[in-house]
């Protein structure tokens, strides 16, 4: 099991940027695929971005592609989500998630592929 703690959320104007951080503890972070999901009020949780444990392949939802960047530093047990050109529709609670699945069974955009979740951090984008 991995414990995940997100930070970096806040209130920003449209067009602004935020950088979310997720610090992991408990197991070997470098062996985990990591993802960011988000949930807006009244909506289901949706995939935003993911990065595999090796070779560090990255994946993005179409809605954030070109604006968000996911990265990780295994030495710091940390994964980041850099969010640029934010839009009001990006407003949501953002969750960090970890998956210990192999490349053969890991579905990066499916919540069921992730075993551990953080508590979430609120991102609010004003127009």
Q: pLDDT tens, 99-118?
A: 998 878 899 999 999 999 99
Position 93 confidence tier, pLDDT thresholds 50, 70, 90: very high
For 20-67, how does the pLDDT look when each residue is reduced to its tens digit (9 = 90+)? 999 999 778 888 999 999 999 999 999 999 999 877 899 999 999 999
Mean of the per-residue pLDDT values of the chain: 94
The answer to whether the CB of 66 falls within 8 A of the CB of 54 is no
Residue 101 near residue 110 (C-beta atoms within 8 A): no
Distance between CA 2 and CA 10 in Å, rounded?
Answer: 25
């Amino acid at each position: 099991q991995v414990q995940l703690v997100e930070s970096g959320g806040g209130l920003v104007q449209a067009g602004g940027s935020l950088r979310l951080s997720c610090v992991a503890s408990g197991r070997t972070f470098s062996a985990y695929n990591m993802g960011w999901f988000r949930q807006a009020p009244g909506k289901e949780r949706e995939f935003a971005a993911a990065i595999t444990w090796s070779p560090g392949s990255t994946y993005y939802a179409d809605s954030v592609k070109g604006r968000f960047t996911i990265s990780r530093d295994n030495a710091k047990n940390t994964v980041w989500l850099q969010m640029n050109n934010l839009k009001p529709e990006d407003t949501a609670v953002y969750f960090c998630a970890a998956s210990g699945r192999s490349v053969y069974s890991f579905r990066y955009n499916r919540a069921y592929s992730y075993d551990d979740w953080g508590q979430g951090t609120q991102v609010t984008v004003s127009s």
